[in-house]
């Protein structure tokens, strides 16, 4: 664009002074043609990102800039450029291919990409990686294979059985995330009817199951404080 602007400025100066030479005119025309061709080739090689970057030139306030963009666009169309990468589904298709790559499974059930990620991702990002891996593999009904590979590696690297799933490892992060996602519903269905009987039945109103009564007092005070705080906030709203 700087070259094209320079060509236009020189042409305007020559036109104003009346000293425009035929040789200068040919050189400017050649330079402009080469510049437009270079822009067309660059855009053709990076049409998915380049066109979105330069599309604003077609709406430029300068008419000559608009004409230049139309010339560039015409050339890339003449070169047979395909615009399939600009489709609305291209982003979804790319993510789909990425998911297929991450969940790729070998002949023996190994997960080369997932296990490679487990080796290179820093421990500060294991929580996020665990969430992503569980979500992706569960969507492909391959969660069992993920758990098998991760837990097998955890067992192989464990120093003793007492330290299994007790350290800060990706396997323990994945297990914790699975417990949160899939275990919460199970616990609710299992314990909800039992706890409702204890809470609502008059036979259990004066029965305490706490071994340490002092802890029960502290727990009761905490619940009461939380209830008062919540009631106050709701009332103020």
Question: Mapped to the 3 state alphabet, what secondary structure does 165-194 carry?
Answer: CCCCCHHHHHHHHHHHHHHHHHHHHHHHHH
Cβ contacts of 36 within 8 Å, gap of 6 or more: 4, 68, 71, 72, 75
Average pLDDT over residues 157-184: 82
Same domain assignment for residues 72 and 105: no
pLDDT score for 37: 84
Same domain assignment for residues 119 and 63: no
Same domain assignment for residues 194 and 148: yes
Residue 76 CB-density burial (10 A; 0-12 exposed, 13-18 middle, 19+ buried) = buried
**Residue 154, pLDDT above cutoff 80:** yes
CA distance 157 to 176: 19
**Residue 17, pLDDT above cutoff 70:** no
Same domain assignment for residues 118 and 172: yes
> Could you list the residue range(s) of the whole structural domain that residue 193 is in?
92-200
CA distance 103 to 81: 33
Dihedral sign, Cα of residue 68, residue 72, residue 78, residue 81: negative
**Residue 229, pLDDT above cutoff 80:** no
**95 in Cβ contact with 86 (< 8 Å):** no
pTM of the model: 0.47
**Residue 133, pLDDT above cutoff 80:** yes
CA distance 135 to 181: 10
Structure-block tokens of residue 32: 């402009």
Same domain assignment for residues 129 and 196: yes
Q: Kindly state whether residue 237 falls inside one of the protein's structural domains.
A: no
Q: Kindly state whether residue 236 falls inside one of the protein's structural domains.
A: no
Q: Count up the domains in the chain and report the number.
A: 2
Q: Kindly state whether residue 51 falls inside one of the protein's structural domains.
A: yes
CATH code of 158's domain: 1.10.506.10
Radius of gyration of the chain (CA): 34
Measure Cα distances from 17 to 4, 14, 28, 148 in Å.
20, 5, 17, 82
CA distance 174 to 126: 9
Q: Kindly state whether residue 227 falls inside one of the protein's structural domains.
A: no
With a pLDDT cut of 70, the percent of the chain lying above it is: 74
Average pLDDT over residues 211-222: 64
Count Cα neighbours of 44 within 13 Å in the Cβ-side half-sphere: 16
Same domain assignment for residues 124 and 188: yes
**163 in Cβ contact with 169 (< 8 Å):** no
Same domain assignment for residues 147 and 62: no
Which of 47, 79, 111 is the endpoint of a domain?
Answer: 79
pLDDT score for 69: 80
**Residue 118, pLDDT above cutoff 70:** yes
Measure Cα distances from 176 to 39, 44, 60, 93, 130 in Å.
53, 49, 55, 31, 9
Q: Kindly state whether residue 39 falls inside one of the protein's structural domains.
A: yes
> Residue written as tokens 């030139």?
57
Which of 28, 44, 79 is the endpoint of a domain?
Answer: 79
Residue pLDDT, tens place only, 59-108: 777 777 778 888 887 877 777 766 655 555 556 777 888 888 888 888 88
> Residue written as tokens 């991702």?
121
- Give start and end residues of each alpha helix (H) in the chain: 2-17, 22-45, 47-54, 63-78, 90-102, 112-120, 126-139, 143-157, 170-178, 184-200, 213-236
Same domain assignment for residues 49 and 107: no
Same domain assignment for residues 39 and 115: no
């Amino acid at each position: 664009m700087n070259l094209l602007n320079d060509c236009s400025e020189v042409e305007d100066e020559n036109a104003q002074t009346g000293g425009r030479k035929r040789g200068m005119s040919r050189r400017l025309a050649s330079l402009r043609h080469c510049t437009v061709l270079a822009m067309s080739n660059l855009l053709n090689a990076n049409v998915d990102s380049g066109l979105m970057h330069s599309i604003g030139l077609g709406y430029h306030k300068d008419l000559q800039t608009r004409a230049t963009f139309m010339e560039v666009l015409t050339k890339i169309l003449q070169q047979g450029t395909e615009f399939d990468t600009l489709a609305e589904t291209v982003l979804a298709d790319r993510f789909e291919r990425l998911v297929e790559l991450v969940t790729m499974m070998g002949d023996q059930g190994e997960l080369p990409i997932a296990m490679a990620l487990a080796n290179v991702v820093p421990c500060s990002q294991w929580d996020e990686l665990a969430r992503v891996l569980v979500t992706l593999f569960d969507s492909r009904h391959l969660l069992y294979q993920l758990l098998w590979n991760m837990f097998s590696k955890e067992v192989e690297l464990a120093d003793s059985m007492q330290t299994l799933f007790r350290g800060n490892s990706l396997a323990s992060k994945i297990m914790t995330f699975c417990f949160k996602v899939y275990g919460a519903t199970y616990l609710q269905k299992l314990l909800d009817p039992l706890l409702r009987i204890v809470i609502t039945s008059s036979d259990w109103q004066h029965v305490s199951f706490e071994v340490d009564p002092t802890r029960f007092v502290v727990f009761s005070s905490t619940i009461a404080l939380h209830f008062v705080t919540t009631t106050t906030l709701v009332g103020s709203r």
